């Protein structure tokens, strides 16, 4: 049934073992270990079913279909992610192009210890990672809270051999890159996830030869080149903005707004760029 959400434990034992071992090794040599290491949920996407943490979702590719050729799939909102308006520009120009009351249309999530939030883009039938170069980014506004615990992030699901099953996930992190925490509060910030900063983590660690399996990670060009060299038949099957760390990282709890979320050939600018997942 489309849109149905179920709950189950989907943490990958092997992946978690790899990351946990990395934490111990890092601690032994005196490196600073981010609090979210070993807690980042696994993600898979196959046969039309997406798992994120303990949530099992069925994205509806029909409802997100492009309006015109070349626009690409819309973003499908799940969990606590909803349509909203900019807290600094909530009104003005009623009947705006996004279907709202005017102002700057955005999405937002109010995070608690028991929820998650997702803005999902189906990239069917799949593209190469290099096609996403300079096409990954977002604006965020943290209303009295901040980033941390591994979210928010943009996650890409990658099928390494073209068989239709996700083999690993890549996570592009925001925030000061000493430990991806303490993002600025109460102001809009844009981050280009394809820049030269060490944003990109792969789970399970060690899935891509040549990339560091532990913190600190890789910049986009290094990541994309490594995936291309190791897996010439790979496909990126989906990408999404996700929040899921409030349960173990208290400063990531509360409300955040998002705008200009770009994943490949579509940018979330107005409400019409989204549909509601069920």
With bands split at pLDDT 50, 70 and 90, how would you rate the model's confidence at 190?
Answer: very high
Q: Measure the CA–CA gap between 25 and 6, rounded to whole angstroms.
A: 36
Does domain 73-276 bear CATH number 2.60.40? no
State the sign of the Cα–Cα–Cα–Cα dihedral 252, 197, 119, 93: positive
Give the angle subtended at the CA of 115 by the CAs of 110 and 116, to the nearest 5°: 80
For residues 10-18, average pLDDT: 28
pLDDT for 31 beyond 50: no
Q: Which of 271, 172, 165 is nearest to 218 (CA)?
A: 172
Q: Measure the CA–CA gap between 86 and 174, rounded to whole angstroms.
A: 20
With bands split at pLDDT 50, 70 and 90, how would you rate the model's confidence at 216?
Answer: confident
What is the rounded average pLDDT for all residues in the chain? 80
Give the angle subtended at the CA of 154 by the CAs of 153 and 160, to the nearest 5°: 130
pLDDT digits (tens, 9 = 90+) for 220-258: 999 999 999 999 999 999 999 999 999 999 999 999 999
Q: Measure the CA–CA gap between 191 and 172, rounded to whole angstroms.
A: 10
With bands split at pLDDT 50, 70 and 90, how would you rate the model's confidence at 126?
Answer: confident
């Amino acid at each position: 049934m489309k849109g149905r959400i179920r709950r189950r434990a989907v943490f990958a034992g092997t992946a978690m073992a790899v990351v946990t071992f990395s934490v111990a090794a890092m601690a032994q040599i005196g490196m600073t270990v981010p609090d979210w290491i070993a807690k980042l949920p696994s993600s898979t996407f196959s046969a039309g079913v997406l798992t994120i943490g303990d949530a099992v979702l069925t994205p509806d590719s029909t409802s997100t279909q492009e309006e015109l050729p070349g626009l690409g799939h819309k973003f499908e909102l799940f969990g606590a992610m909803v349509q909203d308006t900019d807290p600094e520009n909530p009104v003005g120009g009623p009947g705006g192009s996004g279907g709202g009351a005017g102002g700057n249309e955005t999405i937002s999530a109010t995070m608690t210890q028991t929820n998650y939030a997702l803005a999902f883009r189906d990239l069917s039938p799949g593209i190469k990672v290099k096609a996403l170069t300079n096409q990954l980014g977002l604006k965020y506004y943290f209303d009295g809270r901040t980033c941390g615990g591994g979210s928010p992030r943009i996650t890409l699901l990658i099928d390494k051999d073209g068989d239709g099953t996700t083999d690993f996930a890549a996570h592009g992190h925001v925030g000061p890159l000493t430990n991806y925490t303490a993002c600025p509060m109460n102001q809009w910030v844009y981050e280009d996830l394809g820049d030269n900063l060490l944003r990109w983590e792969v789970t399970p660690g060690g899935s891509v030869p040549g990339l560091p399996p532990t913190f600190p990670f890789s910049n986009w060009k290094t990541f994309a080149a490594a995936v291309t060299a190791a897996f010439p038949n790979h496909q990126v099957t989906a990408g999404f903005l996700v929040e899921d760390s409030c349960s173990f990282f208290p400063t990531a709890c509360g409300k955040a707004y998002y705008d200009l979320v770009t994943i490949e050939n579509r940018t979330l600018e107005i409400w019409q760029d989204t549909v509601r997942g069920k």
